[in-house]
Amino acid sequence: MAGGFRQFLLRGNVVDMAVGIVIGASFATVVSGFTKDLLTPFIAAIFKQPDFAGFYFTLHASKFLYGDFVNALISLLIVAAVVYYFVVVPMNALVARSHREPPADPTTKKCPECLSEIPIGAKRCAFCASALG
């Protein structure tokens, strides 16, 4: 039983998936840090408030902190754009390239005498009546 589990874990696609998840989580952390530490302070400076995460509004004495949500939303959009442009678009191009249809077999040929287009199975040219070999 343990041998089967070990074999399952060592299959290529499981290891590749684990590596992808670890790299994806690391990338998400970097993008989150970029958003929180560089991008949103710049946006906050536009609104003349030192901390973007401190943005809030009150409704019936309840405080709604929407700054952190906006940080998370910006991070999501950045990660989604990177995944789309660096993973999805190249994969779609690769799949489209590999699924090209082979050229169709010709249905006509040229008559050697008059160079007219005639059906490939013709024994005589319909235009000049020459016998085809």
pLDDT tens, residue by residue, 98-128: 887 788 888 888 988 888 898 888 888 888 8
Together in a domain, 79 and 60: yes
Together in a domain, 94 and 78: yes
Domain range for 8: 2-98
In this prediction, residue 65 carries a pLDDT of 83
Contacts of residue 117, defined as CB under 8 A and 6 or more positions apart, other chains included, come to 108, 109, 110
- By the 10 Å C-beta count (0-12 exposed, 13-18 middle, 19+ buried), 28 is classed as middle
b/e code 98-107 from CB counts within 10 Å (16+ = b): eeeeeeeeee
Q: How far apart (Å, rounded) are the C-alpha atoms in residues 122 and 133? A: 10
Together in a domain, 35 and 74: yes
Together in a domain, 16 and 73: yes
Together in a domain, 70 and 120: no
The tokens describing 67, both together, are 């700054």
Together in a domain, 49 and 112: no
In this prediction, residue 80 carries a pLDDT of 86
Q: How far apart (Å, rounded) are the C-alpha atoms in residues 40 and 6? A: 45
Binned at pLDDT 50, 70 and 90, residue 50 comes out as low
Helices (H), ranges, 1-133: 2-9, 12-34, 40-46, 67-83, 89-98
Binned at pLDDT 50, 70 and 90, residue 19 comes out as confident
What is the pLDDT of the chain when averaged over all its residues?
Answer: 82
Q: How many domains does the chain have?
A: 2
Together in a domain, 81 and 34: yes
| Average pLDDT for 44-50 | 74
pTM of the model: 0.55
